[in-house]
Structures are given as C-alpha cells and as structure tokens.
Amino acid sequence: MPEPRFPRRKTRQLMVGSVPVGGDAPITVQSMTITKTADVDGTLAQIYALKAAGADIVRCTCNEREAAEGLAHIVPRSPVPIVADIHFHVEMALAAIEAGVDCLRLNPGNLRKTEEIRLVARECKDRGIPVRIGVNAGSLDPRLYKKYGGATPEALVESAQIELGLFAEEGFDDVKISVKASNVPLMIEAYRQLSEVTDHPLHLGVTEAGPPPAGTIKGTAGIGTLLSEGIGDTIRYSLTADPVEEAKAGRVLLESLGLRQRTNVDLIACPACGRAEIDVYKVAQEAQAALEGKQIPLQVAVMGCVVNGPGEARSADLGIAAGRHRGHLFIQGQIVRVVPEDEMVSALVEEAEKLVKEGVAARLAAADSGAAAEAEADRVALLDARGADANHSEQRVELIDRRLRDQP
C-alpha cells in the first residue's frame, strides 16, 4: 500500500460483507449492475466483470419480487459483497434482507414513513446488515426542498441527519451516508458540510453524471476534490455507460491519487508533437489493449520520439520511444534494447512480464550492451535532421518579439 498522500478524515468502520468501509480501511470502489436482477446468470456475469475491473462492492436493484428472489441466488455466488438498492417499497427492503444481501441502500426522499424506516433499522440491527443512507438532490423530500428553497447542501445534509436520527433511536448506527447531486459544486459542498457533523463513513459520487468523457470528468472533479481533502471512504462513478467503465474509472482515480496500490498497468503517453516518429495514439491504444488484461502493476510509457522520450518518462517503470523506424526500450530511463518499429508493442509486453517476474536489477543487468550507444546515435541523428526545436518555437518567439518591438 502506498504512503497516503492526503490525510484522511477519521471515520468509524463498518463491514459490507467481508469488505471494511471507513476507519483506516482502503477506500473502496463500487458500481451497480444494469441487468434485471431476476436474470441471475446475466447479473452474475456482470458482477464478475465488475470485480475484474476493480469493483470491491456491487449494488443490484431490488424493485420487485422476482428481483428479491434473484438476489437469493446471486448473493452466495457473488465474488464481492452485494448491496440491494431500495426505492419506495419497504417490502423490498425486508425481502432483500431475507435474500441475504450484505447491505441496503435506502433513499430518504422515496421511503418517508417513519415507522417503516424504524422497522428496517430493527431488522438490519438484528441481522448485522449495514445501511447506506442515499440522499439524492433529485429526489429530496418536498418538505426540505420547500424549507431551503431548493436542493441546497444544507437540505441534503439535514435529510441525512433526519434519517440517521431515526436509526439512532433504534440503537442502530451501522450506517454509511451519501449526499449526491449532479451539480458538482453542490455535491462538493454538501459532503464538506456532512463531514463536519458526522463520523459515519461517506460514500462519494456525482449522480447522473452522464456519458463519458464528460461524465467521467464530472465524477473525477467531484470525487477527486473531496478525496484530496481527506473526505470519503467509498466511491462510485455514475456513468451512462457500461458499468465496467465506472469500476475502471474508480480504480484509476484511487491509484492516481496514491490511495490504492496499483493492480494493473498505468499507461502514460506523450501527447505527440512535430517530432513524433510514430502514430502515438495508435501505438498507445495497442499497448493498452495488450497489457490491460494481464494484471501487470507497472507504469508503462509510450513516447513518440527518442530525443526526449526516455528522459521525460524516466519515472515510469518501463517504456518505449520511437526513432528512425525503431523502438528504444527503456527501464526507469535506461535503454535496455532497440527493436524494430513493428515489434514495439510485443517487445513492451514481453519486457513488462519479465520485469514483474525478475525485478528491475535483473532486467537492467540483462540489457543489450550496445543498446545505449545505438539509441544515442538515433537521438543525435534526429536532432541533426530536425533540429533541437522541431516545432520552431524559438523562431516564433523571435517573431513575437519583433512584432512587439515594432508597435508604435
């Protein structure tokens, strides 16, 4: 586990099945199936795909008898804890409990009868099943909407506190909370305020964020901002896309922030420029596809040229840079091999597998003795051919200076 870069707000811890949430537990990634829960095999297939993509916990809707019956078959076969998503009907919450789910998600805006909430609290307390209070700006209790003149951060937080109070009166505090909104600044402020008034674990998310890439950006803006402030114990991207994309996005965000240990490749690539010797976008996509399913926990770089590539990507575990129809393979900035351009991706994958198995020292020791000199010759040749300023930026600076000097 990497050293945390952001001090985390201290929260109490609860267990969602075998997965701890809150306290000093790693921040977890969640997603939700989009299959009909009654379709047991189809739902399980999606749950396994989500697990493979990095999800620690998966939520399934429980909106009808057939869904509850499906959960009874899904829960014992699932590789991750299952949360039942409940709206409107307390009967579905009770049925999900009987199905053996690991957690319930209740929306205070849709389940408002005090006696029903208390009943669910008692049942969950008796069974040791935690609950997520899922406040949503789009389904806020009309009374709070009227009181605050809209879905404000204060209204969302009060909704959560009201529900939390009902659970507390039943002696039940195995609760995590979310106060989601599709408006990112509203979502951020609501969680900030909530973090000041409770030590319950917080489930972060920007709801109804929409399709990628805009939805992913909105989710990252909200979730990433709060995580950098130490707020948040479990996260979910809400994308109009295959839920596997949600799990991937959540995992990448946590790994990028140093909040979870890398479990798969982190591919970085230059944005390309006039010096690029290859189609960087194409090679990067091919490398990503070739490495993605191998669970190789390395940072791998694809660089478009050999002039600056190995130096700029020296912090990467492994990389390759193109030059004169060849690929310069490097480990932590040191050239270890030069391969033909059409073998760049296969050489990268082969070296990545060896690096994981043998370690950095062994792979550097096995480097081609003439590779560094060969690579330097390519670099010098490219500098001679294109100059140190391939994009002519210095020439442009001179033109700017001249233009400004000539102004009256």
pLDDT tens track for 58-86:
999 999 999 999 999 999 999 999 999 99
Over 50: is that where the pLDDT of 2 sits? no
How confident is the model over 360-403, as pLDDT tens digits? 999 999 988 887 777 777 777 766 655 555 555 667 777 787 77
The pLDDT of residue 294 is 86
DSSP string, 254-315: HHHTTSS---S-EEEE----TT--S-HHHHHHHHHHHHHTT----EEEEES-TTTHHHHTTT
CA distance 298 to 357: 12
How confident is the model over 237-259, as pLDDT tens digits? 999 999 999 999 999 999 999 99
What is the arithmetic mean of pLDDT over 299-309? 80
Q: Closest Cα to residue 76, out of 93, 51, 57, 99?
A: 99
What is the arithmetic mean of pLDDT over 193-213? 97
31 burial (CB, 10 Å; 0-12 / 13-18 / 19+) is buried
CA distance 301 to 332: 10
Contact between 201 and 14 under an 8 Å Cβ cutoff? The reply is yes
Its pTM stands at: 0.85
Task: Sort strands 13-16 and 19-22 into parallel, antiparallel or unpaired.
Answer: antiparallel
Q: Closest Cα to residue 319, out of 329, 327, 311?
A: 329
How confident is the model over 280-302, as pLDDT tens digits? 888 889 999 999 888 899 999 99
Cα angle 180, 184, 186 (rounded to 5 degrees) comes to 70
Peptide bond into 81 cis (omega under 30): no
Return the CATH fold of 266-386.
Sulfite Reductase Hemoprotein; domain 1 (3.30.413)
The pLDDT of residue 13 is 98
The CATH number, out of the four listed (3.40.50.620, 3.90.1280.10, 3.30.1490.20, 3.20.20.20), of the domain defined by the range 13-256: 3.20.20.20
Contact between 102 and 83 under an 8 Å Cβ cutoff? The reply is yes
Residue with tokens 């029903």: 116
Contact between 198 and 177 under an 8 Å Cβ cutoff? The reply is yes
Task: Sort strands 334-340 and 326-331 into parallel, antiparallel or unpaired.
Answer: antiparallel
Q: Start-end ranges of CATH 3.30.413.10 in the chain?
A: 266-386
The pLDDT of residue 386 is 55
For 161, which DSSP code? H
- Which of 56-70, 103-117, 183-197, 345-359 shows the lowest per-residue confidence on average (mean pLDDT)? 103-117
The pLDDT of residue 392 is 59
Residue 260: CB partners within 8 Å, gap ≥ 6? 1, 26, 27, 251, 254
Q: Start-end ranges of CATH 3.20.20.20 in the chain?
A: 13-256
- Which of 164-173, 266-275, 355-364, 375-384 shows the lowest per-residue confidence on average (mean pLDDT)? 375-384
Residue 356: CB partners within 8 Å, gap ≥ 6? 296, 297, 298
The pLDDT of residue 309 is 65
The pLDDT of residue 270 is 82
